[in-house]
A and B are shown apart, each in its own frame.
Chain A
């Protein structure tokens, strides 16, 4: 069955209705509702521990919500899991590649898992490698790749089965500026093809380039608007930036309370020892 969204242009690509996820006593996502339009480039921005990944995991059927529901192109994330999975592509925050296999082999596994027929498979792999600028190294083991190459490969893999909605969980994390820029160009190309993109990020520059930004904190959706709209409403000064709006909404407290004391100390040091409390 084809996605209903194929014939209903006004159908939201993603629709979350009072979506909630609890883990014991911890409320990771607290009754969040929002819509993402088809073809929209949508960012979910939030501090550490805000609930971004939990939200993404629910929308991609990795975990089931404990309350509310969501639909991806009209398909319920609990009742129509198979349909939702056919519709979406996903790039995880940590690499989800088999490093002991070649790029080509990784792509081949994905193609088989998504039912790309044998006749089209070779062409799909060739196209994915070309798209990621990895044609020359297709037969090399992934463990020999740089972080940027792995990220491009993952992005190309996520697009192989032509998903209509793409989820990116902090896709540029850990990349150097060159790698980030290269990857960002690829993401922009996806956007031009009309694929709906929902991306979680810490990076305010990246969030600024999105159509709309949802700011999530402590499991709640606290603001949703265009980047310019967020700055105008929450920036607080004439030359305010999205960062000002973000800090204004989420405060200046460190949010890595789940990290070890050593990590918190390093995090503090990276901020130049600035007093943040």
Chain B
């Protein structure tokens, strides 16, 4: 352990700093009920209204109701919003908030960044859990294991998205830019992840959902997801390509696997992307945070003459 800066740290890891920065993020979230309201309203809109609405027309999608099918997607949507919102708060935090005091402190910036990332990931888990509360309504049975698995995936997805958000935030000039980020980043990642439509499969099958659940599970294990009727669908190649290059596709696929035992991409690819991409993104975000204040000063310089 070194005490070079007055803060107990090892290789830039100062547990007290990580803890205090994590707690700050979570406290701020818990005091802001609008975020929780946003998570709830998104869930009702996508899962309940869209899920049951489109579900009434599609009937079945790969042997699941449409609401069941998109539940992991709605979890993902909440995680994307929560983590990006946490990261984007950097913009005003460095202009008029606490961050400037943090950045001139002798604390290791790696620990400051880790606190922010872990805070964003924790908030993502809370926000992502809101749709899980609706699982009984859509008829999806959850187990302790499946919920713990989903929390793990949400956490890693939260790290990745918070890190991505930090990289974006360090380049944003104004908080008003968040609207374009919402449309330009969250929605493409969401729609191109297999969240609302499968890459391939049988849609609109008849009768499979009428089979008792235990027999249905047995049939699924045999690879049977439909009895009759329906359409075999496959995305166009260019759209498949976009889904394949989207890291969120693999994270969502893993989430669908732990919640529903259903997946469309190779499990090894899901695991590799879900665990490795957040690590790489976190390293880049930590470096970006270190340069944040310097960048701020450059931007201010660009806006007006120095005082």
Stretch at the interface among B104-112, B133-141, B176-184, B214-222: B104-112
Pair A49/B305 contact, Cβ less than 8 Å: yes
Of chain A, the residue at the smallest CB distance from B96 is: A94
Of chain B, the residue at the smallest CB distance from A23 is: B301
The 8 A CB mask of A186-223 against B (1 = contact, 0 = none) is 00000000000000100000000000000000000000
Q: Is B24 an interface residue (CB 8 A)?
A: yes
Pair A53/B306 contact, Cβ less than 8 Å: yes
Of chain B, the residue at the smallest CB distance from A142 is: B98
Partner of A63, one of B100, B106, B294: B294
The 8 A CB mask of A58-87 against B (1 = contact, 0 = none) is 001111100000000000000000100110
* Complex CA–CA separation, A239 to B107 (angstroms): 51
Q: Is B7 an interface residue (CB 8 A)?
A: yes
Of chain B, the residue at the smallest CB distance from A90 is: B104
The verdict on A100 contacting B105 (CB below 8 Å), with A57-B297, A106-B98, A114-B7 known, is no
Q: Is A257 an interface residue (CB 8 A)?
A: yes
The smallest C-beta distance from B62 to any residue of chain A, in angstroms, reads: 44
Give the size of the chain A interface in residues (CB under 8 angstroms): 48
The smallest C-beta distance from B14 to any residue of chain A, in angstroms, reads: 8
Q: Is B102 an interface residue (CB 8 A)?
A: yes
Pair B301/A26 contact, Cβ less than 8 Å: yes
Q: Is B213 an interface residue (CB 8 A)?
A: no
**B contact residues, range:** 35 or more
The smallest C-beta distance from B6 to any residue of chain A, in angstroms, reads: 3
* Complex CA–CA separation, A94 to B304 (angstroms): 16
The verdict on A48 contacting B307 (CB below 8 Å), with A62-B104, A109-B98, A157-B101 known, is yes
The smallest C-beta distance from A78 to any residue of chain B, in angstroms, reads: 13
Q: Is A50 an interface residue (CB 8 A)?
A: yes
Pair B106/A96 contact, Cβ less than 8 Å: no
Of chain A, the residue at the smallest CB distance from B24 is: A109
Chain A to chain B: the 5 pairs with minimum beta-carbon distance, closest first = A115-B6, A258-B304, A258-B305, A49-B305, A113-B105
- Show 10 A/B contacts (Cβ-Cβ < 8 Å), sorted by A: A49-B305, A49-B307, A62-B103, A86-B5, A100-B27, A100-B28, A109-B24, A112-B16, A113-B7, A115-B3
Q: List residues of B whose CB falls within 8 A of some A CB.
A: 3-8, 16-17, 19-21, 24, 27-28, 31-32, 93, 95-107, 293-294, 297-298, 301-307
